[in-house]
Amino acid sequence: MKSRRKITFRSGEANPPFSAWHTRGVLKPVTIFAVLCLGLFQSAFAHASDFFLPWRNPDRALVLDAYEHNSLDWQKIVQDRRIVGFIGKASDGLPPEYCTFADKGICGVSWRKYSVARELYLTRRQLARALGLKWGAYHLGRRGNPERQADHFVSYADPQPDEVIVLDLEMPEHEVFMTLDEAERFAARIYQKLERYPLLYANHRTAAAIAENRDEYPLLSRLKLWYARYKPGISGVFPMGNWESYTLWQFAYGGNCRKNCPYRVDGTPRDIDVNVLPMTVEEARLAWPFDGLLPVRSIEPEEPDTLPGPVYVNTETSSGAANGGGRHSDFVAEPDYNPEKTPETPPASDVNPAVSATLVQGPIVPTENPIRVEERIKRERERCRSTGYRDGANGPESC
């Protein structure tokens, strides 16, 4: 082997790390420029990563949320070390009318379902906490007295000081769901009962409406945001009102998990909701339950355009709501993200100002016998499975 020639520079340093680029011990200007650009790029990417496919970052914590009809294998779930917590569906609107279990009518059926759902909620909480997961509960806001709904949530969930509490605010413009004014009163009542404020679960359309009218909703606009949107990236969305960023981002649910899911958790069905946090598992454990209000943010003269995207109702999954149940992702915007066609680089902006918001009728609470409703839903699902899905002009829609 030939001996290498030892190169010595004026500084007296032999063979420095960038010796091939040194001239008389000084880095070439092009090298300095390249190193600076690389550092700036890495810094910018680190900041933007929480707004573009953050669930692909193995350092980012994940949270599951579910309602009573999701089947779960807890032993498999906890094998995924990124899962830091679980948020379960608790109360739904106003409490049902009390009936004895001997009642064979609609009242008895409703009360039995309610009792079983609450027993399942309490059992899941005990299991999750025993396995080391953080716990939380959400209330699905319906049209009607928000103070009574808040009392119902507190009685149903019995939230402990270390548990996340959430108001699930769906389409406030729809007559079935809680309005923004009612949601403001709900948050105030929760504070009266618990001396804590809930997180706010909302899709983009609802969050943007609150941000644009934050003076009218001084509490809602300062609640920490659980953001529901099914896109690979949300650059250009934040800051929005008082929200500098999201606290949780729900990126996966049954609608965009029919073939390839953005993220699959072993032990859960394909219609499970998966959420990402802009922090590590250790940081999430310390930050849980994300109490407190956000500060009022000073608005710059020009804010990023945050026009809402189209809103669709998944008629296959919204049947749960028609029976008085349903998980919150049944009602949010139909996914505009196909994991099979994920872009390789973040787009300049994920907001399309040309998109118009198209609303369709949401789920209606039936007045007919709930047993007949369930039979009709089963027949509808059988028909869906036999015919499959088709692509509509404005996005995917169920059969």
**What are the tens digits of pLDDT across the range 156-173?**
999 999 999 999 999 999
337 falls in which pLDDT band (50, 70, 90)? very low
pLDDT of residue 320: 43
The mean per-residue pLDDT over the stretch 18-25 comes to: 41
pLDDT of residue 119: 94
Q: Which CATH class is domain 58-287?
A: alpha beta
Q: Where are the domains of the chain?
A: 1-51, 58-287
d(CA 270, CA 273): 9
- This prediction has a pTM of 0.68
**Mean pLDDT, all residues of the chain:** 76
pLDDT of residue 47: 43
Tell which residue, 194, 200, 250, has the closest CA to residue 222: 200
pLDDT for residue 8 is more than 90: no
The mean per-residue pLDDT over the stretch 82-110 comes to: 88
d(CA 9, CA 3): 19
pLDDT for residue 50 is more than 50: yes
> Which of the two residues, 78 and 319, has the higher pLDDT score?
78
Torsion (CA) 18, 23, 29, 32 in degrees, nearest 10: 20
pLDDT of residue 198: 98
Contact assessment for residue 353 and residue 308, using Cβ atoms and an 8 Å cutoff: no
**Residue 24 — left, alpha, or beta (φ > 0 → left; ψ -120 to 50 → alpha)?**
left
Q: What percent of the chain has pLDDT over 70?
A: 63
The mean per-residue pLDDT over the stretch 139-161 comes to: 97
d(CA 176, CA 141): 9
pLDDT for residue 357 is more than 70: no
Contact assessment for residue 207 and residue 240, using Cβ atoms and an 8 Å cutoff: yes
Tens-place pLDDT, residues 182-212: 999 999 999 999 999 999 999 999 999 999 9
pLDDT of residue 348: 45
pLDDT for residue 317 is more than 60: no
> Which of the two residues, 288 and 46, has the higher pLDDT score?
288
pLDDT for residue 369 is more than 50: no
d(CA 98, CA 114): 10
pLDDT for residue 114 is more than 50: yes
pLDDT of residue 99: 80
DSSP single-letter state for residue 244: S
pLDDT for residue 315 is more than 80: no
Residue 28 token pair: 């070439």
103 falls in which pLDDT band (50, 70, 90)? confident
pLDDT for residue 150 is more than 80: yes
> Which of the two residues, 371 and 140, has the higher pLDDT score?
140
Highest mean pLDDT of the ranges 116-120, 286-290, 296-300, 385-389: 286-290
Tens-place pLDDT, residues 217-271: 999 999 999 999 999 999 999 999 999 999 999 999 988 887 788 999 999 998 8
Long-range residue pairs from 298-303, CB within 8 A, at least 24 positions apart, any chain: 299/241, 303/239, 303/240
> Which of the two residues, 24 and 270, has the higher pLDDT score?
270
Burial of 145 (0-12, 13-18, 19+ CB in 10 A): middle
Alpha helix (H) residue ranges in the chain: 29-48, 74-77, 106-130, 146-157, 180-194, 204-212, 281-287, 319-322, 370-387
Task: Give the N- to C-terminal CA distance of the chain in Å, as an integer.
Answer: 73
pLDDT of residue 37: 52
Burial of 212 (0-12, 13-18, 19+ CB in 10 A): middle
pLDDT of residue 35: 44
Q: What percent of the chain has pLDDT over 90?
A: 54
Lowest mean pLDDT segment, chosen from 25-34, 125-134, 223-232: 25-34
